[in-house]
Copies of this chain bind each other. A is one copy, B any other.
């Protein structure tokens, strides 16, 4: 797909209609607002290849797990992201011919996603089978100003004829998922109504019983005048309401349909008040009208971009790529609702179950910390705090006791919903991603009060998990951690994965630090937490200390490198460069056992640990490990390249850093992995942001101070990024000659630029 989409600084542009890549474009041009979102499906009917997708944040279905051989402890279900009722639909028929781009000659097709304002536009000229030509220009957005509102302006012009059009404008809850075990439907009708100009359907999900009320209100303008809606036909069938109306088409004169959508869920309204609330939302939206709604929406985007934009001078493709990543992240998660999280596909597809992976903590948190008010990142932390009881339940199922907390690998509501023993049960490092996120947040914001309010409880739970998960090796005279999967998922059930051991022991140290802080800062609260968690400080922390002191870390003294796990050196150590092209990607070409016993690394593992705890390692150690592991890394996870950009930047490997950057920044725009049709890689987009800010910009926080060590990739003239940091907004402009730091708002502060303190005013 390289170069299929036009390069542009602020827009994604598709010119000409290629049905073969329509599903890819549907993913890329997706729009959302944190609460609802949708793929760039056409408003009018389309009988060609398409993946219909409308999504409502937090609404899922617990599908029965399909698994070959059941293991004790597996969760009963897999949380499916549901395709939600469709509010965008229009059917247009002219002289008994449907307007369906699969059945017309299509010219001048242009699809544009304006990232600056979050507007999806589409225009085309279609020749109907009988030769009548219509031109269409549609605009659509999901309001960032009101998460329950979407709006469409759909303009239709008869080019070479005058006639009548029959319009059917509807809400359809009779939708299916592409991914369902038995082709079953997940929605049941609860309520519906249709009147002139309006239609509402309340549908509930099976099993989970979420209610979603989807409404539409519309008006039609012809030659500048409102079309009378009194002579319409009301349509109703199961889970479906619509209006059918006939309008005059006069050659060359535009007919404009304004359709306002409202999507309300029982997560935000009492079920019995959903319909009333929906009516209110619809009436307000239509009263404001498309232009005013859009102005409000665009204003929110303008504000968002102020905080998070990155500019790149001298490389339009790179500029477009980074903005696309930021755009998608921003519309996926707005940080306003602490019950929500960042699904791997956001609002762009239904693939992968559940909404939350460790991606959030390990990859996304830094983006939201750096680009938004700190409450956004804080809500991500509180989300996990609220799941603590379920993490404790989850641990219990696996035999842990006394309040040990094992956070799920994939979840919707705190319960585990993934079923591969080697991941679900053994990729245990993810539970400490929650601990690291607390550190990351406090480190960046200075908000140590978070320990007191929420952090400590979570840390005690996680620390208890590690205390029970290690065992004493009489052979090594050390604590060991057996049977795990590290971040490199191309190794399963290994012993003493260094990353896991390091993170586990670090968590115990960090929990101790939290205790020390809370005891001093708020002794009463400490007593409260101790009582609530039944915490035996003396005994438990003594055990922590013992584990920290006697934890085993595999290493190779000869090479001076950390070992990814016990036995790693028994492998044949072959660089990726020696692999035959036909063997790649190995996850599509090799059987699992071959991948497992090979040295090839899916994504940063030892290097992930070094990245997270950079201060613990000197440059020589970083270099030795990078030089040892990176050549064996196949980067077959979208989460891999960003960590390598950052470490390569530290080591002055500028060319390598830029190569890794390219692998992440345009992953979806260029459909590198040939899978964007299923949705965009949302969580890894945060890695692109990190690549620029932490990689090229060299941003770190040390002792509460913002540090920058920027350089400019050779391919760029200059670049800039903004950072929200402790109440300030800073703009950092980097060129080959100099680095400018501008305080855009907030009080002056000292930062460290290239190792020297600089006062920014």
Contacts and interface: CB of A to CB of B under 8 A. Distances in A.
A68 B570 contact: no
A426 interface: yes
A28 to B, nearest CB: 26
Interface stretch (A37-45, A475-483, A734-742): A475-483
Contacts of A482: 567, 570-571, 596-597
Nearest to A558: B475
Interface in A587-622: 587-594, 596-597
Interface stretch (A466-474, A643-651, A706-714, A743-751): A466-474
A701 interface: no
A182 B398 CA distance: 31
Interface string A418-441: 011100011000000000000000
B593 A483 contact: yes
B483 A596 contact: yes
Given A569-B475, A571-B471, A596-B493, A591 B66 contact: no
A16 B494 CA distance: 54
A407 to B, nearest CB: 15
Contacts of A66: 66-68
From A496, A571, A593, residue with most partner B Cβ within 10 Å: A593
A755 interface: no
Interface in A64-96: 65-69, 71-73
A399 interface: yes
Interface in A658-701: none
A549 to B, nearest CB: 18
A419 B66 CA distance: 13
Nearest to A495: B567
Contact of A471 (B71, B399, B420, B597): B597
A397 interface: yes
A68 B417 CA distance: 12
Contact of A592 (B73, B475, B496, B592): B73
Contacts of A493: 492-494, 596
Given A482-B570, A482-B571, A571-B482, A71 B591 contact: yes
Contacts of A571: 471, 473, 482
A67 B399 CA distance: 25
Contact of A572 (B472, B492, B494, B594): B472
A188 interface: no
A480 B571 CA distance: 9
B567 A425 contact: no
A593 B596 CA distance: 18
A591 B483 CA distance: 12
Contact of A594 (B398, B494, B569, B592): B398
B495 A593 contact: no
Contact of A570 (B421, B473, B597): B473
B425 A593 contact: yes
A47 to B, nearest CB: 29
Interface in A452-502: 471-476, 480, 482-483, 492-496
Q: Is the interface of A mostly helix, strand, loop or mixed?
A: loop
Given A399-B590, A482-B597, A591-B397, A476 B71 contact: no
A587 B68 CA distance: 16
A482 B370 CA distance: 44
Contacts of A73: 590-593
A72 B590 contact: yes
A566 interface: yes
Given A69-B420, A567-B566, A592 B472 contact: no
A71 to B, nearest CB: 4
A594 B426 CA distance: 9
Nearest to A425: B593
Given A475-B570, A569-B475, A572-B472, A591 B68 contact: no
Nearest to A400: B594
A602 to B, nearest CB: 14
A7 to B, nearest CB: 36
B594 A399 contact: yes
From A73, A492, A567, A590, residue with most partner B Cβ within 10 Å: A567
A466 to B, nearest CB: 14
A72 B471 contact: no
A64 to B, nearest CB: 11
Nearest to A572: B471
A471 B574 CA distance: 12
A597 B484 CA distance: 9
Contacts of A397: 591
A481 to B, nearest CB: 9
A421 to B, nearest CB: 4
Contact of A71 (B425, B495, B592): B592
A732 to B, nearest CB: 43
From A66, A480, A482, A483, residue with most partner B Cβ within 10 Å: A483
A86 B570 CA distance: 56
A567 B569 contact: no
A68 B71 contact: no
Nearest to A589: B72
Contacts of A472: 572
A53 to B, nearest CB: 23
A68 B475 CA distance: 37
A475 B569 CA distance: 6
A425 B592 contact: yes
Interface string A389-426: 00000000111000000000000000000011100011
A615 to B, nearest CB: 30
A399 B591 CA distance: 7
Contacts of A473: 569-571
Contacts of A570: 471, 473, 475-476, 480, 482, 495-496, 566
A567 B72 CA distance: 25
A62 to B, nearest CB: 15
Contact of A68 (B419, B569, B592, B594): B419
B68 A420 contact: yes
Q: Which 8 A-B pairs have the closest CB atoms?
A: A73-B591, A425-B593, A483-B597, A475-B569, A67-B68, A482-B597, A71-B592, A473-B570
18 contacts: A67-B67, A68-B68, A68-B419, A69-B420, A72-B589, A72-B591, A421-B593, A425-B593, A471-B570, A473-B570, A473-B571, A480-B570, A483-B593, A493-B493, A493-B494, A566-B566, A566-B570, A567-B567
Given A72-B591, A73-B591, A425-B593, 10 more contacts: A71-B592, A72-B592, A182-B182, A398-B593, A399-B590, A425-B591, A425-B592, A482-B571, A483-B597, A567-B567
